[in-house]
Amino acid sequence: MKIAVIVFPGSNCDIDLYEALHSVCHADVEYVSHKEKSLDGFDAVMLPGGFSYGDYLRAGAIARFTNIMPAVTKMAKEGKPVFGTCNGFQILTEVGLLPGALKRNNSQKFVCKTVPLEVVNNQTMFTKQYKEHERIALPIAHADGSYFADEETLDRLEKNHQVVFRYAEENPNGSLRNIAGITNERGNVLGMMPHPERAVEAILGNTDGLRLFKSLLTTGNAKVEE
């Protein structure tokens, strides 16, 4: 599986994501600039955390207009794995590949700490190496991570098992229904505020994120049929 890590102006977790895949998982991974127009030859694409375009207007709002985004949307429509963490999640909602939006944290503050999470759905290509309802811990680092969608959308997400991760104890940002990560209806696009790429090596104190990448890599050339 060949994976693209997109680099936007203001991305700052692109190297973490690349190294989690390259050094730790020994995956075939390449940086791809936001200026590129094609993702031909790639089997999966990942949008890193950071502050693309300085979070101007709204987090992720401007990245939506970059050259690469139509290619990302194309891969999503083809059923190939698309993953966004933190700013990547915000971009995926802004471009409409995932429902809802990420608001400013209720505390109005940037929150940076490791938080307990529940794996709500372990049947996705990203989470199959976790146990159902498993408690894990991952770092979060964001100011705009409060997940918001209308009641109807929230009900639909739960009914379709699209809620993949929930904050397990405290809710760090005011996310509705404690949502930390969701997929699209087809299950091939995952967005989450926590950073699994920062939790892949024992020497850094936490390996709970590793199985997310391993789940995906053992899926092979994953593709969800419609």
Gap between the Cα atoms of 182 and 166, Å rounded: 9
Shortest distance, position 174 Cβ to other proteins, whole Å:
7
| Among 34, 86, 94, 142, the one annotated catalytic | 86
Gap between the Cα atoms of 224 and 43, Å rounded: 12
DSSP H or E run through 183: strand 179-183
Gap between the Cα atoms of 122 and 61, Å rounded: 30
Judged by CB under 8 A, does residue 177 bind other proteins? no
H-assigned helices in 42-99: 69-77, 87-94
Nearer to other proteins, 106 or 221 (CB): 106
Contact 66, 35 (CB under 8 A): yes
Shortest distance, position 93 Cβ to other proteins, whole Å:
8
Q: In this structure, how many other beta carbons lie within 10 angstroms of the beta carbon of residue 206?
A: 17
Judged by CB under 8 A, does residue 10 bind other proteins? no
Judged by CB under 8 A, does residue 169 bind other proteins? no
Judged by CB under 8 A, does residue 186 bind other proteins? no
**Residue 197: active-site member:** yes
**Residue 161: active-site member:** no
Shortest distance, position 168 Cβ to other proteins, whole Å:
22
Judged by CB under 8 A, does residue 111 bind other proteins? no
Shortest distance, position 16 Cβ to other proteins, whole Å:
27
**Residue 112: active-site member:** no
Tokens of 24: 């730790």
Judged by CB under 8 A, does residue 101 bind other proteins? yes
**What residues from 128 to 157 belong to the interface with other proteins (CB under 8 A)?**
148-150
Gap between the Cα atoms of 162 and 177, Å rounded: 13
Q: For residue 172, which of 138, 203, 197 has the smallest C-alpha distance?
A: 138
Nearer to other proteins, 42 or 51 (CB): 51
H-assigned helices in 126-223: 151-159, 210-217
**What residues from 11 to 50 belong to the interface with other proteins (CB under 8 A)?**
none
Strand duo 28-33 + 2-7: pairing: parallel
Shortest distance, position 6 Cβ to other proteins, whole Å:
20
Binding-site string for other proteins from residue 59 to residue 98, where x marks contact by CB under 8 A and - marks none:
--x-------------------------------xx----
Q: For residue 167, which of 219, 214, 117 has the smallest C-alpha distance?
A: 117
Which residues form the catalytic set? Answer: 86, 195, 197
**Where on the chain is the footprint of other proteins (CB under 8 A)?**
57-58, 61, 93-94, 99-101, 103-104, 106-108, 148-150, 174
